[in-house]
């Protein structure tokens, strides 16, 4: 193209092009094309024309050819592009939505984008756009567990009431245990995070034993009382309650929120509670562990310290947990619960119940 086009500009065209350069109301693309033709008329090399016009060499060749074929008028209008593919009809969109929400054939459990595209006869990207517009994500699955506790409402009101309006001259503790925490050592050292690459860790590991963390989250100041033990029977739970008993100042009532694990209701535990009347246990509904505030601390501990940790022994794992709890307590903030009992009931009422 560069060798076949020789730009010859007539006096009339030069005047029009010069006028374009001085017209402030002209689009920048028109001024740029006029510069290309005027520079080319000076017999400058294409590379020099491209540098002065701040454009690529193929663009220089393209507008030189356009001027040779159509003159100045060709510079002032863009070529009509071929019409794009017609948008999908409402019927096709409805068919994609209905197919995605239906049971797939065969042994598979859900529809994929490629399977839907092949069945409907459209592109994968078209299916993805429809899914995005209607917020469909068949590749994702959320788990749930609806409580069947007959005293669900009463227990929710009791626990939420302690969170939102804790009694005076009392301590409110959310108590639970995180059992079977594994001390995992990787088979090879990982690589650290660096620009352009994420950190690495081998998928296989070596088990070095387990430990159980008993924790009590103080609702009033956000601090955590923790104790690491090898097992999680009623004996360890009772020993943990004694630890809390020694750490809470005398004269304060202890309201303990815990779940319905059998260890928490073992006869020896109940007997100890009867001998210590300042303790009041509040049980969350069955299948309602999300009401136990200390579960949030366990989640943070797992994500921030345990999941990517490398532990060569149980002792090393226990030391890491103790260090994390100390750091947490230094910057602890009061626990804030914002959902009222009524808002929880309203949300559950809006959630459809799956048929048996």
- pLDDT tens digits for 22-52? 888 888 889 888 889 998 888 888 888 888 8
Bridge partners of residue 216, in order along the sequence = 175, 225
Whole-number percent of the chain with pLDDT over 70: 96
Determine the length of the chain: 356
Output the six-digit token pair for 272: 């100890």
Query: What is the structure's pLDDT at 350?
Result: 82
- Rounded to 5°, angle at Cα 47 from 42 and 50: 80
List C-alpha distances in Å: 329 to 114, 297, 350.
Answer: 50, 12, 38
- Predicted local distance difference test score (pLDDT) of residue 278: 94
Q: Return the pLDDT at 86.
A: 72
* pLDDT for the residue numbered 1: 45
pLDDT of residue 42: 87
Burial 7-43 (b: 16+ CB within 10 A, else e): bebeeebeebbeebeeeeeeeeebbbbbbbbbbbbee
- Is 334 within 8 Å of 220 (Cβ atoms)? yes
Nearest to 71 by CA among 46, 111, 37: 37
Rounded Cα distance between 56 and 50, Å, is: 6
When pLDDT is cut at 50, 70 and 90, the band that residue 266 belongs to is very high
Same fold: 11-75 with 152-193+200-350: no
3-state helix, strand, coil in the chain (%, to 5): 45, 15, 40
Distance between CA atoms of residues 342 and 348, nearest Å: 10
295 pLDDT tier (thresholds 50, 70, 90)? very high
- 1.10.10, 1.10.940, 3.30.390, 2.160.20: CATH of 11-75: 1.10.10
Residue 349: what pLDDT?
84
The structure tokens 């409110």 sit at: 172
Q: What does the mean pLDDT of the chain come to? A: 90
> Among the residues of the chain, which ranges form H helices?
11-22, 28-41, 46-53, 57-75, 90-100, 113-120, 124-133, 152-164, 234-247, 267-275, 294-301, 314-330, 341-350
Q: Where are the domains of the chain?
A: 11-75, 90-133, 152-193+200-350
Structure tokens at 5: 């086009």
Asked if 225 and 218 count as a contact pair (C-beta separation under 8 A), the reply is: yes
209: left (phi over 0), alpha (psi -120 to 50) or beta: left
Identify the pLDDT of residue 158: 93
Mean pLDDT, residues 327-348 taken together: 92
For the residues 120-135, what does the mean pLDDT come to? 95
43 phi-psi bin (left φ>0, alpha ψ -120 to 50, beta other): left
For residue 94, pLDDT beyond 60: yes
Does the pLDDT of residue 148 top 50, yes or no? yes
84 versus 136: the higher-pLDDT residue is: 136
pLDDT at residue 81 greater than cutoff 90? no
pLDDT value of residue 6: 74
Over 60: is that where the pLDDT of 235 sits?
yes
With beta carbons less than 8 A apart as the criterion, state whether 287 and 145 touch. Answer: yes
Was domain 152-193+200-350 assigned CATH 3.30.420.10?
A: yes
303-308: average pLDDT? 93
Distance of alpha carbon 64 from alpha carbon 110, whole angstroms = 55
pTM (whole model) above 0.75: no
Question: Which percentage of the chain shows pLDDT scores above 90?
Answer: 61
Given a contact cutoff of 8 angstroms between Cβ atoms, the answer to whether 257 and 284 are in contact is: yes
Q: Is the pLDDT of residue 212 over 50?
A: yes
List Cβ neighbours of 171 (8 Å cut-off, separation of 6 or more): 218, 220, 248, 252, 253, 254, 255
pLDDT digits (tens, 9 = 90+) for 161-183: 999 999 988 999 999 999 999 99
Listing from the earlier edge strand, what are the strands of the sheet with 224-229? 224-229, 205-218, 170-186, 253-258, 279-283
Q: How far is CA 333 from CA 126, 222, 251, 316, in A?
A: 48, 5, 24, 27
pLDDT at 243: 95
- Region 240-264: mean pLDDT is 93
Q: What is the pLDDT of residue 209?
A: 94
């Amino acid at each position: 193209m560069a060798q076949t086009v020789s730009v010859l500009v007539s006096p009339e065209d030069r005047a029009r092009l010069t006028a374009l350069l001085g017209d402030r109301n002209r689009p920048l693309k028109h001024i740029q094309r006029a510069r290309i033709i005027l520079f080319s008329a000076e017999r400058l090399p294409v590379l020099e024309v491209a540098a002065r016009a701040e454009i690529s060499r193929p663009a220089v060749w393209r507008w030189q050819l356009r001027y040779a074929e159509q003159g100045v008028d060709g510079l002032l209008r863009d070529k009509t592009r071929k019409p794009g593919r017609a948008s999908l009809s409402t019927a096709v969109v409805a068919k994609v939505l209905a197919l995605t929400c239906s049971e797939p054939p065969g042994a598979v459990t859900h529809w994929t984008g490629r399977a839907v595209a092949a069945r409907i006869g459209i592109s994968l990207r078209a299916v993805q756009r429809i899914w995005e517009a209607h917020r469909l994500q068949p590749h994702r699955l959320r788990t749930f567990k609806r409580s069947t506790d007959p005293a669900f409402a009463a227990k929710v009101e009791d626990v939420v009431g302690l969170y939102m309006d804790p009694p005076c001259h009392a301590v409110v503790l959310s108590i639970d245990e995180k059992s079977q925490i594994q001390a995992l050592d990787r088979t090879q050292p990982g690589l650290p995070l660096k620009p352009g690459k994420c950190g690495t860790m081998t998928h296989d590991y070596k088990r070095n034993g387990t430990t159980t963390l008993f924790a009590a989250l103080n609702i009033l100041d956000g601090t955590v009382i923790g104790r690491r033990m090898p097992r999680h029977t009623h004996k360890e739970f009772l020993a943990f309650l004694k630890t809390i008993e020694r750490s809470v100042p005398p004269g304060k009532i202890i309201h303990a929120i815990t779940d319905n694990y059998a260890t928490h209701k073992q006869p020896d535990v109940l007997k100890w509670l009867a001998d210590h009347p300042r303790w009041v246990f509040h049980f969350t509904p069955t299948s309602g562990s999300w009401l136990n505030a200390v579960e949030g601390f366990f989640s943070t501990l797992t994500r921030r310290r345990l999941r990517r940790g490398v532990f060569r022994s149980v002792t090393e794992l226990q030391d890491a947990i103790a260090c994390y709890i100390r750091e947490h307590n230094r910057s602890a903030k009061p626990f804030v619960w914002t959902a009222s009992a009524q808002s929880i009931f309203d949300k559950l009422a809006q959630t459809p119940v799956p048929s048996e």
